[in-house]
Chains A and B, each alone.
Chain A
Amino acid sequence: MKHHRELSHIRALEAEALHIMREVAAQLERPVALFSGGKDSAVLLRLAEKAFRPARFPFPIMHVDTGHNFPEAVAFRDRRVSELGERLIVASVQESIDNGRVVEETGPRASRNRLQTVTLLDAIAEHRFDAVIGGARRDEERSRAKERVFSFRDEFGQWDPRRQRPELWSIFNGRVRRGEHVRVFPLSNWTELDVWQYVLLEGLELPSMYFAHRRDVFERDGMLYAVSPHVPLMDGERVFEESVRFRTVGDMTCTGAVRSTAGTLEQVIAEITEARITERGETRADDRVTEAAMEDRKREGYF
């Protein structure tokens, strides 16, 4: 056994993420893990298995359901949660609308992306969660690059980038007062490619929309959108069938597809390795509103 005791890059990231997951469980009283049905949260659930099995997860799983999700992602969510035998909480944006907590946007570009912040914060308050574990990565976006692994939120759920706690070595400070919480990001140091390589290494299942398939789409602002009841067509927009896959899974109203014939994990990884455009730049309309669109939403409490 003459190996040089070096963990591979991906296994070192995994070890770091397990350490983070166990710290949340040990330091906070009422954590919850967010699960969207996307690839990052699929990785998060596998990490939770590795951190806590053979015991149950020391937290429930929560999905903020905008009602505009891809059906494949919701089906995957239900299947995965039932395989794990863990508890699922669904926080519904539709309910927030029905209760008058938020007002639905109107028009062809209407999106529930911003509304879900209210639903999320309401759910955190209702269940008195003091830690919310999410799959966000620092490589996704400029303001996320500045965020801590344990990221403090005040009683309004707000992030203040100028008053972040220093985060030293791998010692995390998860102390909060009642009504405050921390967002915890075990995948902080992972890149998009790391996530895909981990999916391959672990043989994880993903929703089918991550792989190339033929779908009715139309083009808007240089992106391909799936045809759905949630996105009314505007004048001059023409529907056509294309072989596409999705790089991210958000709402149908703000998530674009990329032209692709990559039908297997290996082919997807090969495409991403060659890609010259970031996943959010290529497929997320919600980041394009202003130069600091993500920072502004995060200050309000967005994930």
Chain B
Amino acid sequence: MGRLNGGSPAEAGTLRFATVGSVDDGKSTLIGRLLYDARLVPDDQLAHVEEVSARRGDGYVNLALLTDGLRAEREQGITIDVAYRYLATPRRRFIIADTPGHEQYTRNMVTGASTADLSVVLVDARHGLFDQSRRHICVAALLGVPHLTVCVNKMDLVGFARKPFEAIRRDIDEVCARLGFSDVAVIPVSALLGDNVVDRSESMAWYEGPTLLSHLEEVRVDSDRNLRDVRLPVQWVIRPMSEEHHDHRSYAGQLASGVLRPGDPVVVLPSGTHTKVASLETHDGELAEAFPPMSVTVHLAGHADVSRGDLICDPESAPPPARELVADLCWMSRQPLRAGSRYLLRQASASTRAAVREVRSAVDLATLEQAPADALALNDLGRVQIRLAAPIVCDPYRENRATGCFILVDEATNDTVAAGMVVEASP
């Protein structure tokens, strides 16, 4: 059984996963159940939930109250915003982004999925795969989440029968094949009663796969990292300007992909300056090599002119600087997006003005196809063409999640209005 604070988990590393479900799919209950059955709920939090459930007149201990933390969420019985939970079993550590699944909260779902290794999507066994669930799976696919787990919940309400589960599974397989998901697990559960969440169900002997927890503990994510193409966005230039470190000038950033060693030839983009890594430093001393997600400081040979926003790459895989992007967007503002609008684009450590030249299409969630469109409304997913005021250095999102993603900021309100993923970049 899990200790509250984990102990020392084995080598499996940390799994970041996002959970998505529609209102009433029982998502918060599922997470509550996961925490409760793995004995990961602190006693004071459990006592609090029991006390509040009793006061509200809930018929059972309402495990959803473990994650719905805001006043408005508790009053309305819904999840409004992404909540993060941290847990550790003896086998693995988890960071959970618990995201609301209602259409109006797509932006929160996208937020949770953007950093996830795996998405857990909930489907109601009574209703099957509605548009909502297709949307959830589609968002996970668009955001390049490598692994998908679908929990067919409320199996208790269909008599724990195999037939409805298999019908839903066929629909899921079909959707996933179209979206190109290769790693998909489908698990029949009852979050309310705990079947197949942590403990194996006694009511569904026909199901031979893993429980949700054991699947999450075992799924392998280390091969998802890109160790091939060197990409180091320069975040900050360290210049002490002191007697002791008179000529010190180094470049700090978090390695997005690839492996970097002293002596490696590199090119600094967008300027195109070729140089070499003189040394890799941290506050704790020099490094023989750096790999993602390390935050490091690089000394370059010679006098390269490098500043925030530049990208240090290996010369073989370095992409050409781009001023024209075709990109997928999730639109997050009430103000619809139309051609001609200007924003601030932020990608890696770079920042430049951007004009949306054309809205090409929006995803039709019924068919999962791109349909012609000339505007994107709040929570729409669609494809656009963007022109940049200054070149950026990026990769297609499919090839490199860290350098292929960007956000658009409205300069009038300072709000983040879009999540963007590069499909194609050209000069």
B376 at the A/B interface (Cβ < 8 Å)? no
Q: In the complex the two chains form, what is the Cα distance from A9 to B332 in whole Å?
A: 32
Which residues 8-24 of B have a CB within 8 angstroms of A? 9, 11, 13-14
Q: How far is the CB of B394 from chain A (nearest CB, A)?
A: 12
Q: In the complex the two chains form, what is the Cα distance from A188 to B82 in whole Å?
A: 13
Q: How far is the CB of B37 from chain A (nearest CB, A)?
A: 16
The 28 sampled A-B contact pairs (Cβ below 8 Å) are A7-B293, A7-B294, A9-B14, A12-B14, A14-B295, A18-B252, A19-B254, A19-B295, A22-B236, A25-B236, A26-B308, A49-B283, A52-B238, A55-B242, A56-B240, A143-B69, A145-B84, A146-B83, A168-B114, A169-B114, A170-B402, A171-B347, A274-B5, A276-B4, A277-B42, A277-B43, A278-B42, A281-B45
Q: Across the interface, do A176 and B238 meet the contact criterion of CB distance under 8 Å?
A: no
Q: Across the interface, do A295 and B252 meet the contact criterion of CB distance under 8 Å?
A: no
What are the 9 closest A-B residue pairs judged by CB atoms, nearest first? A142-B69, A281-B44, A18-B295, A55-B240, A175-B414, A50-B283, A22-B236, A15-B295, A19-B254
Q: In the complex the two chains form, what is the Cα distance from A6 to B223 in whole Å?
A: 11
Note all chain A residues with C-beta closer than 8 A to B308: 26
B415 at the A/B interface (Cβ < 8 Å)? yes
Q: Across the interface, do B293 and A12 meet the contact criterion of CB distance under 8 Å?
A: yes
Interface membership of chain B positions 308-342, coded 1 if the CB is closer than 8 angstroms to chain A and 0 otherwise? 10000000000000000000000010000000000
A23 at the A/B interface (Cβ < 8 Å)? yes
Q: Across the interface, do A171 and B406 meet the contact criterion of CB distance under 8 Å?
A: yes
Q: How far is the CB of A165 from chain B (nearest CB, A)?
A: 5
Q: In the complex the two chains form, what is the Cα distance from A56 to B416 in whole Å?
A: 32
Q: Across the interface, do B254 and A169 meet the contact criterion of CB distance under 8 Å?
A: no
Note all chain B residues with C-beta closer than 8 A to A173: 346, 407, 409, 414, 416
Note all chain B residues with C-beta closer than 8 A to A19: 235, 253-254, 295
A167 at the A/B interface (Cβ < 8 Å)? yes
B398 at the A/B interface (Cβ < 8 Å)? no
- Name the segment of A76-84, A189-197, A241-249, A253-261 touching the other chain: A189-197
B110 at the A/B interface (Cβ < 8 Å)? yes
Q: Across the interface, do B346 and A171 meet the contact criterion of CB distance under 8 Å?
A: yes
With A173-B409, A189-B95 in contact, is A276–B259 under 8 Å at CB?
A: no
B53 at the A/B interface (Cβ < 8 Å)? no
Q: Across the interface, do B414 and A22 meet the contact criterion of CB distance under 8 Å?
A: no
Q: In the complex the two chains form, what is the Cα distance from A11 to B294 in whole Å?
A: 8
Q: Across the interface, do A164 and B240 meet the contact criterion of CB distance under 8 Å?
A: no
With A145-B83, A295-B71 in contact, is A55–B241 under 8 Å at CB?
A: yes
Note all chain B residues with C-beta closer than 8 A to A161: 70, 72, 80-81
Note all chain B residues with C-beta closer than 8 A to A22: 235-236, 252-253, 295
Q: In the complex the two chains form, what is the Cα distance from A54 to B115 in whole Å?
A: 31
Q: Across the interface, do B405 and A273 meet the contact criterion of CB distance under 8 Å?
A: no
With A6-B13, A49-B283, A295-B69 in contact, is A277–B239 under 8 Å at CB?
A: no
With A143-B69, A291-B52 in contact, is A166–B110 under 8 Å at CB?
A: yes
Note all chain A residues with C-beta closer than 8 A to B288: 1
A212 at the A/B interface (Cβ < 8 Å)? no
**Closest residue on chain B to residue A8 by CB atoms:** B13
Question: Residue B110 contacts which of A12, A168, A191, A273 (CB distance < 8 angstroms)?
Answer: A168
**Closest residue on chain A to residue B65 by CB atoms:** A142
| Residues of A bordering B, CB below 8 Å | 1, 4-7, 9, 11-12, 14-16, 18-19, 22-23, 25-26, 49-56, 138-139, 141-143, 145-146, 161-162, 164-171, 173, 175-177, 188-189, 191-193, 272-278, 281-282, 291-292, 295
With A168-B416, A173-B409 in contact, is A276–B43 under 8 Å at CB?
A: yes
Note all chain B residues with C-beta closer than 8 A to A53: 283
B263 at the A/B interface (Cβ < 8 Å)? no
Q: In the complex the two chains form, what is the Cα distance from A272 to B405 in whole Å?
A: 39
Q: In the complex the two chains form, what is the Cα distance from A192 to B293 in whole Å?
A: 22
With A161-B81, A166-B416, A169-B405 in contact, is A292–B71 under 8 Å at CB?
A: yes
Q: How far is the CB of B398 from chain A (nearest CB, A)?
A: 15
Q: Across the interface, do A192 and B93 meet the contact criterion of CB distance under 8 Å?
A: no
Note all chain B residues with C-beta closer than 8 A to A273: 3, 5-7
Interface residues on B, range: 35 or more
Q: How far is the CB of A144 from chain B (nearest CB, A)?
A: 8
Q: Across the interface, do A15 and B111 meet the contact criterion of CB distance under 8 Å?
A: no
Q: How far is the CB of A48 from chain B (nearest CB, A)?
A: 10
Note all chain A residues with C-beta closer than 8 A to B52: 291
B89 at the A/B interface (Cβ < 8 Å)? no
Q: Across the interface, do A5 and B4 meet the contact criterion of CB distance under 8 Å?
A: no
Interface centre among A6, A26, A49 (most CB of B within 10 A): A26
Note all chain B residues with C-beta closer than 8 A to A171: 346-348, 405-407
B85 at the A/B interface (Cβ < 8 Å)? yes
Q: In the complex the two chains form, what is the Cα distance from A26 to B238 in whole Å?
A: 11
Q: Across the interface, do B405 and A9 meet the contact criterion of CB distance under 8 Å?
A: no
B245 at the A/B interface (Cβ < 8 Å)? yes
**Closest residue on chain A to residue B239 by CB atoms:** A55
B107 at the A/B interface (Cβ < 8 Å)? yes
Note all chain B residues with C-beta closer than 8 A to A139: 85-86
Note all chain A residues with C-beta closer than 8 A to B11: 6
Q: Across the interface, do B415 and A165 meet the contact criterion of CB distance under 8 Å?
A: yes
B133 at the A/B interface (Cβ < 8 Å)? no
Q: How far is the CB of A282 from chain B (nearest CB, A)?
A: 7
Q: In the complex the two chains form, what is the Cα distance from A16 to B253 in whole Å?
A: 10
Q: A146-B69, A273-B3 are in contact. List 5 more A-B contacts (CB 8 A).
A: A169-B402, A277-B43, A281-B42, A291-B71, A295-B70
Q: Across the interface, do A15 and B294 meet the contact criterion of CB distance under 8 Å?
A: yes
Q: In the complex the two chains form, what is the Cα distance from A11 to B295 in whole Å?
A: 10
With A15-B293, A168-B111, A171-B407 in contact, is A146–B82 under 8 Å at CB?
A: yes
Note all chain B residues with C-beta closer than 8 A to A275: 4-5, 42
Note all chain B residues with C-beta closer than 8 A to A55: 238-242, 245, 248
Q: How far is the CB of B303 from chain A (nearest CB, A)?
A: 19
Q: How far is the CB of A172 from chain B (nearest CB, A)?
A: 8
Note all chain B residues with C-beta closer than 8 A to A169: 114-115, 401-402, 405
Note all chain B residues with C-beta closer than 8 A to A15: 254, 293-295
Interface membership of chain B positions 276-300, coded 1 if the CB is closer than 8 angstroms to chain A and 0 otherwise? 0000001110001101011100000
Q: In the complex the two chains form, what is the Cα distance from A124 to B241 in whole Å?
A: 28
Q: In the complex the two chains form, what is the Cα distance from A1 to B70 in whole Å?
A: 49
B222 at the A/B interface (Cβ < 8 Å)? yes
**Closest residue on chain A to residue B254 by CB atoms:** A19
Which residues 58-88 of B have a CB within 8 angstroms of A? 67, 69-72, 74, 80-86
Q: How far is the CB of B229 from chain A (nearest CB, A)?
A: 15
